[in-house]
Structure 1
Amino acid sequence: MSESSLAEMLRSRGLRLTAQRQLILEAVLELGHATPEQVHTAVRGIAAGVNITTIYRTLELLERLGLVTHTHLSHGSPTYHAAGADQHVHLVCRSCGEVDEIDPEMLGPLADQLANERGFVVDVGHVALFGLCRKCGEQQD
């Protein structure tokens, strides 16, 4: 998203584009999957005065604007990533912590069954499956 379109989106909601908001969005886009603490570290390298509270509030705002989304990939803080058409399911290794992604179509049959039998619509953008990655699984054999 360009700086001008972000500014327009914020202005349309009575908000303004601050340097901090721009830096936080850029950090999320650059990091791919990042906790608020990781975003804070990245932003603090550029603007030392940005505190963690500002990071959390801005991430919440960016999520309300539909620019980022979050999922829970561990017991800690949520992980944020850019929102968009490239929804994906997260695969999280419980051993090494690696995060991989798969196409949500792989969950299609399960999502269809849940919708048909229970009327439940799966929000694929928030799905995380936990297990062992190939490397960690091979080490256990």
Structure 2
Amino acid sequence: MLRERGLRLTPQRQLILEAVHDLGHATPEQVHTAVRERVAGVNITTVYRTLELLEELGLVNHTHLSHGSPTYHAAGEDQHVHLVCRGCGSIDEVDPTVMQPVTDRLLAERGFRVDVGHVSLFGVCGQCKEL
């Protein structure tokens, strides 16, 4: 896909894309750490720029799972809603149909189409609730 757009598949781009796939859900800082374990010369600016490029190309998606940096995941995955635990920080995924009543109502009442792939619900997971 990069070559089709006249871009090169550099080793850094390849490593960053592989890190996103390997990590599942990762911030640019986490991707940077994973890449630096393999190659020391990749800086955080390169990671941010590459993630932006990969998202423009449709290879990764991002969502906001906290107040900090966006979290990236592979675009080839099925859309899902993120469940973020405020207690332990775990991230779980549920099928987007769980949001269907809300998305249907927003569409009917306001003509608003929800991008379910960017939906994150914050709360407390079952394990933390028991503590």
| Global fold match (TM > 0.5) | yes
Mean alpha-carbon deviation: is it higher for 53-62 or for 79-88? 79-88
Letter in 1 for 2:126: R
CA distance in 1, matches of 2:62, 2:2: 20
Instruction: Indicate yes or no: 2:13 matched with 1:21.
Output: yes
Unaligned runs of 5+ in 1: 1-8
85 and 39 in structure 1: CA distance in 2 versus 1, 3 angstrom threshold = closer
Cα distance between partner residues in 1 of 2:51 and 2:45: 10
Distance 1:122 1:84 in 2: 19
The equivalent of 1:120 in structure 2 is: 112
Hey, what's the Cα distance between the residues in 1 that align with 2:18 and 2:4? 20
- Could you tell me which residue of structure 2 aligns to residue 71 of structure 1? 63
Q: What SS does the corresponding residue of 1:17 show, helix, strand or coil?
A: coil
Percent identical across equivalent pairs? 76
| Matching residue's letter, 2:75 | A
Kindly provide the CA deviation profile for residues 110-132 of structure 1, in whole angstroms up to 9, marking residues without a partner as x.
Answer: 11111111111111111000000
Following superposition, the deviation at residue 84 of structure 1 comes to 2.6
Code of the residue aligned with 2:49 in structure 1: it is R
**Among 14, 23, 35, which residue is 1:31 paired with?**
23
Q: TM-score, normalised by structure 2?
A: 0.97
Query: Is the aligned partner of 1:51 residue 2:35?
Result: no
**2:122 alignment partner, SS class:** strand
Any unmatched runs of 5+ in structure 2? none
Instruction: Give per-residue Cα distances to partners, 1:40-83, cap 9 Å, x unaligned.
Output: 00000111000000000000000000010001101111100001
Q: Deviations over 1:12-51 (max 9, x none)?
A: 2111110000000000000000000000000001110000
Q: CA deviation at 1:137?
A: 1.2
The number of aligned residues is: 131
Q: What's the CA shift for 1:107?
A: 0.6
Task: Give distance in 1, aligned partners of 2:6 and 2:94.
Answer: 37
Cross-structure match for 1:10: 2
Pairwise CA RMSD:
0.8
Structure 2 letter corresponding to 1:47: V
